[in-house]
Amino acid sequence: MTEIRNYDTLALVASAAAENAVEILQEAIIRNGEAYWVLAGGSSPIAAYKELVQDYADAVDWSKVTVLIGDERFVPLDHEDSNWGTIMKIFDANEYFKDMVRIEPDILSTIELTAQSYESRIQSLAINQFDLVWIGVGEDGHTLSLFPANPALVDEASTWVVPVHHAPKLPSERFSLSLEAMRHVTELVIFATGASKKNILRQARLKGGLPISVVAEEVESSGGEVRWLYDDAAWGEV
């Protein structure tokens, strides 16, 4: 099932995403005794993490929540370009999040080894589904670190993590969750925000074929729910 929600501002998108995350994670904990949440970098999710830390810190038993990263740049985790490092700084500002189970990537000597290491860490969890996955959208329609013309969009890889070379945005080497991983998602939340994304998001809605479209279709066809969170700047006319 796909649901599209439109909000006036990014701040309202962030608030809605934080509230929804609390609901989904609480439901997973009640159902399974634990919850698995895949995090996203980018300015829109960052606003939602800050909202969560400020207004919902005591709403979830974070010791029962395991967090992972959907994609990461091949940089040290304390580098300003690190998705993981940037997000963890936000969570570390509030004591409630200290017990969160964190599946931190190991940045090794090559991106291949780094991707393989994170794959092993995920597989060691022996999980079948991610309860919640957050992703953003780039101005070229990429999501995670799956860019247009990326072989991972057509390869039937059985791994959940793939190395990415020659990304059109720096840093050019990254790892990303794969389409196979996206077939194991209960709820996918897509941050569709900003005027600069309006044209590519319209194309995604009307024509498909872009990485964001492919990922959303994979989740939905595998039985997951897809929730698009737009702000007015990104919506435009269909």
Which tens digits make up the pLDDT trace of 163-214?
A: 999 999 899 999 999 999 999 999 999 999 999 999 999 998 887 889 999 9
Query: Which pLDDT does position 154 carry in this prediction?
Result: 67
The percent of residues above 90 in pLDDT, for the chain, comes to: 91
What does pTM read for this prediction? 0.96
Q: Average pLDDT in the 72-82 region?
A: 97
- What is the predicted pLDDT for the residue at 84? 98
CATH topology of domain 2-174+197-235: Rossmann fold (3.40.50)
Long-range contacts of 18-23 (CB under 8 A, 24+ apart): 18/48, 18/49, 18/51, 18/52, 18/55, 18/56, 19/56, 20/189, 20/227, 21/48, 21/52, 21/56, 21/132, 21/134, 21/189, 22/52, 22/56, 22/59, 22/60
pLDDT tens digits, residue range 104-159? 999 999 999 999 999 999 999 999 999 999 999 999 999 999 999 877 776 667 89
The residue extents of the domains of the chain are 2-174+197-235
Q: pLDDT tens for residues 87-98?
A: 999 999 999 999
